[in-house]
Amino acid sequence: MKIQESCKGWTMEYEAQLLRDLTEPEAKALQGILHLAGDIVVSYTQLPEVDPTIKQMVLDNIAISLSETKDDILTTIDHALTMHAYHAPLEPGLQELDVFGFNLKEALQSVLKTDAEAAIAAEYFSSFNEEEGDDGDGPEDLQS
């Protein structure tokens, strides 16, 4: 799969053998990212002749900004996948033990020291289940 983007005076191309076929909106969004990268490269390469230290500072700041942006994007992707995992039901036949290596309800009950703590946890999960439209299949009986 190949993504290509051009503008006045430059062309950028991204090719990856593992890149799956993209929908039109995905392709357009990724072309926009290539366009942004192309504009950044052109802006830097068209700097007038200045002290090399200044050019290096500009280059360093571009690299820092893009690194921070990459971290933000990866965090956004991670959060989206986490939210999906929270709301996706387990595949048929899987249980918490298979996924997490322990039973979540039992683990929570083992750290609750008093009946008051258990009551607070039960109240929290009860209101959480109501907000989520849960069918009640959760740790509602934490006081045991």
* Residue 109 falls inside a structural domain: yes
Looking at beta carbons, which pairs linking 31-35 to residues 24 or more positions away fall under 8 Å?
31/3, 31/4, 31/5, 32/5, 34/3, 34/4, 34/5, 35/5, 35/7
Could you read off the pLDDT of 86-101 as tens digits, one per residue?
A: 777 777 777 777 777 8
pLDDT at residue number 98: 78
Q: Which helix (H) or strand (E) holds 80?
A: helix 52-87
Q: What is the pLDDT of residue 105?
A: 79
pLDDT (tens digit, 9 = 90+) per residue, 42-51?
999 999 999 9
Helices H / strands E in the chain, number of each: 5, 2
In this predicted structure, the answer to whether residue 144 has a pLDDT above a threshold of 60 is no
Per-residue pLDDT tens for 65-79? 999 999 999 999 999
In this structure, is residue 122 part of a structural domain?
yes
82 and 100 both lie in a single domain: no
Specify the pLDDT at position 128.
Answer: 60
Task: Provide the domain limits for residue 24.
Answer: 1-46
Domain count, the chain: 3
pLDDT (0 to 100) of residue 99: 75
